[in-house]
Amino acid sequence: MVKVGIVMGSTSDKMVMDETCKLLSEFGIEYEVRILSAHRTPDEAISYARGAYDRGLKVLIAGAGGAAHLAGVLAGVTTLPVIGVPMSTNLMGGLDSLLSIVQMPAGVPVATVAVGKAGAKNAAVLALTILGLSDESYHQKLVEYKESMRQAVLANNEDGAV
């Protein structure tokens, strides 16, 4: 059953948001992807977010860049947690995207992750964390993921590795 809805403002966001998809697949989390824009297809973006809870989705992830209003618009019409992924842009490396997503008014949070691919990966990890609160199998995946990161870092200190 699909648990996570990934929405991106443009196909130009796809290369970055593929990182979210890859990691969700690794975690065994079913997801769906939509290209919907807060500016170019506002009605469809809002309608998608409005129906997401009733369709059984648990988390929405929105990737957008520039005047990145997508995550905020989705958050305005859903009770699901919304994670925002800012795209890198030519303006100060994506600071425009980051501020557009993170600076939400009180009462309408968007869980904003880092700009670019690191953020796209963290959106998947955060989705796993949220799902893990009510499903032990996802929690176990998170425990294993963290342990594998720990092992990978420590391996750098083995004889001859550095």
Residue of the chain from 20, 37, 78, 122 that contacts ligand RP5 (CB under 6 A):
37
Total of residues contacting ligand RP5 (CB under 6 A): 9
Residue of the chain from 4, 6, 13, 130 that contacts ligand RP5 (CB under 6 A):
13
Helix (H) or strand (E) holding 7: strand 4-8
In whole angstroms, give the CA distance from residue 130 to residue 137.
Answer: 12
Of 17-25, 44-52, 61-69, 118-126, the segment contacting ligand RP5 by CB under 6 A is 61-69
Residue 88 interacting with ligand RP5 (CB under 6 A): no
Residue of the chain from 3, 4, 5, 9 that contacts ligand RP5 (CB under 6 A):
9
Whether residue 36 contacts residue 48, with contact meaning beta carbons closer than 8 Å, is answered with yes
How many C-beta atoms lie closer than 10 Å to residue 10's C-beta? Answer: 16
- Give contact residues for ligand RP5 (rule: CB under 6 A): 9-10, 12-13, 37, 64-66, 87
